[in-house]
Amino acid sequence: MRRPDRLSPARLAPADVVRVGGAGLRTRPARALLSALGVAIGIAAMVAVVGISSSSQAELDRRLAALGTNLLTVAPGQTLLGRPATLPDSAEPMIGRIAPVTAVAATGRVESARVYRTDRIPKAETNGLVVLAARLSLPSTVGATVRAGTWLNAATARYPAAVLGAVAAARLGIGHPSPLTSLLVGSARFTVVGVLDPIPLAPELDAAVLVGWDVAVTALGFDGHPTTVYLRCRDQQVEAVRAVLAATANPSAPGTVAVSRPSDVLAARRAVGETLTALLLGLGCVALLVGGVGVANTMVISVLERRGEIGLRRALGATRGQVRLQFLTESLLLSALGGAGGVLLGVAVTAGYAGYQAWPSVVPTWATAGALAATVLIGGAAGLYPAVRAARLSPTEALSAP
């Protein structure tokens, strides 16, 4: 007697798998939305942290490119006896003779002068401001820009005229100087002719009152010794120039000369920012893990609530593999929904914050790709156990459940 052909279960096309897997999300939209929200928060946190950090670094790189990383400063250190050293008067012109040096300017601190808005201010209230004699080439050397008024020139440098750093102007309450705006510097009245913008590579100038070199000597008792020499050199020769600066500035005592590169401070600030980014990414991963637990919890409850559906499908011929694939697909769709929403939210947060800070908005491709990959892993891990549990239910057991 001929045996009948063995029946084989129907195969589900990919579109059918997605449709069957999405049925559970459509029938319980509120629960699906809340579960996807947990994943979205974790993904958004990760994308926003990476995006804001990348935008900040892009802004820092833009500023460094505009300001240049070829600025070096020379200042006096200490003698062998621990006393403050001084730079010789010839330090600035000697440094200017170094072949790769393209610009040089000096400032000198006027120790005996204090700054007051009027003579009614108590002598102890100096606001932490300093008076610096400045060369005319200082703005072009350090990358300073004038916010209001004008910089010193060959005429005003010989007369009682002053330019304020950004912090000094704020502390003195001077925003836009006029011909009637004056300060008491030492015992002389100085007219304020300009206010500078903040100087990222020379922040020590922000809290300074800058006067001409000649008038500082004649009217304020300045000794003529520079306390800081700023110089620009060719980018390819920065380290070579840095190596000879101490001996050039003070040949008789090079060990008492301190040489620094202000842009190194900004690079260190970026390294600190990267460390903070790593910490925030860790917090984002914790949030993503919590979201994955929420997805797993939703899928387990879904299996318990839909035992009748599972039993009916099994009775109609669905295999364990098809049931397992259905619930795994549902978990992946749930996580993908949260992942897509999280990526969009993270990009929106990055764009909003970068726009508020006037930074370029940068979201690395690897961040969005990694976020989507993380959602697939979260969805697969969260839905694996519920899918296996659903597949193990026999038709009679599932149909007999209350």
Share of the chain above pLDDT 90, in %: 33
For residue 275, give both structure tokens. 């460390």
Region 36-44: mean pLDDT is 80
Q: Helices 320-357 and 29-67 sit at what angle, rounded to 10 degrees? A: 40
The predicted pLDDT at position 218 comes to 92
Region 188-205: mean pLDDT is 92
Region 235-260: mean pLDDT is 89
pLDDT at 401 over 60: no
CA nearest to 201, candidates 62, 357, 57, 72: 72
For residue range 197-233, what is the model confidence (pLDDT) as tens digits? 999 888 999 999 999 999 999 999 999 999 999 999 9
CB 191 within 8 A of CB 160: yes
pLDDT at 166 over 60: yes
Which residues does residue 271 pair with via DSSP β-bridges, in sequence order? none
Region 71-90: mean pLDDT is 85
The predicted pLDDT at position 371 comes to 80
pLDDT at 105 over 90: yes
Q: Helices 29-67 and 365-392 sit at what angle, rounded to 10 degrees? A: 160
For residue range 117-149, what is the model confidence (pLDDT) as tens digits? 887 777 777 778 999 999 999 999 998 999 999
Query: Is 363 exposed, middle or buried, given 0-12, 13-18 or 19+ CB atoms closer than 10 A?
Result: buried
pLDDT at 48 over 80: yes
CB 129 within 8 A of CB 208: yes
pLDDT at 164 over 90: yes
The predicted pLDDT at position 47 comes to 84
The predicted pLDDT at position 271 comes to 56
User: Which residue has tokens 């599972």?
Assistant: 310
DSSP-assigned letter for residue 69:
S
pTM above 0.75, yes or no: no
Can you list the alpha helix ranges (DSSP code H) found in 113-187?
138-142, 166-172
The predicted pLDDT at position 21 comes to 65
Give the C-alpha separation, 165 to 215, whole Å.
18
DSSP-assigned letter for residue 316:
T
275: pLDDT confidence band, cut at 50, 70 and 90? low
Can you list the alpha helix ranges (DSSP code H) found in 306-393?
307-315, 320-357, 365-392
Q: Which of 248-252, 263-267, 368-372 is predicted most confidently?
A: 248-252
CA distances from 258 to 200, 203, 227 (A): 20, 17, 11
How many residues would you count in the chain? 402
For residue 124, give both structure tokens. 């102890």
| Domain ranges, ordered by start, for the chain | 14-64+267-399, 70-262
283: pLDDT confidence band, cut at 50, 70 and 90? low
Assign 211 to helix, strand or coil.
strand
User: Which residue has tokens 């697909």?
Assistant: 329
Assign 134 to helix, strand or coil.
strand
Query: Do the bridges between strand 130-134 and strand 146-149 make them parallel or antiparallel, or are there none, so unpaired?
Result: unpaired
Residue type, 233: C
Contacts of residue 148, Cβ cutoff 8 Å, sequence gap at least 6: 175, 176, 177, 194, 195
Query: Do the bridges between strand 146-149 and strand 188-196 make them parallel or antiparallel, or are there none, so unpaired?
Result: antiparallel
More confident residue, 58 or 130: 130
More confident residue, 2 or 116: 116
Mean pLDDT of the chain: 81
Give the C-alpha separation, 314 to 183, whole Å.
91
Give the C-alpha separation, 262 to 99, whole Å.
21
Q: Rg for the chain (alpha carbons), in Å?
A: 35
pLDDT at 194 over 70: yes
The predicted pLDDT at position 107 comes to 96
Residue type, 170: A
Residue type, 381: A
Contacts of residue 97, Cβ cutoff 8 Å, sequence gap at least 6: 248
Q: Which of 283-292, 299-308, 317-326, 334-343 is predicted most confidently?
A: 334-343
pLDDT at 266 over 60: no
For residue 358, give both structure tokens. 């006037």
Region 177-187: mean pLDDT is 89
Burial 230-267 (b: 16+ CB within 10 A, else e): bbbbeeeebeebeeebbebbbeebeebbbbebbbeebe
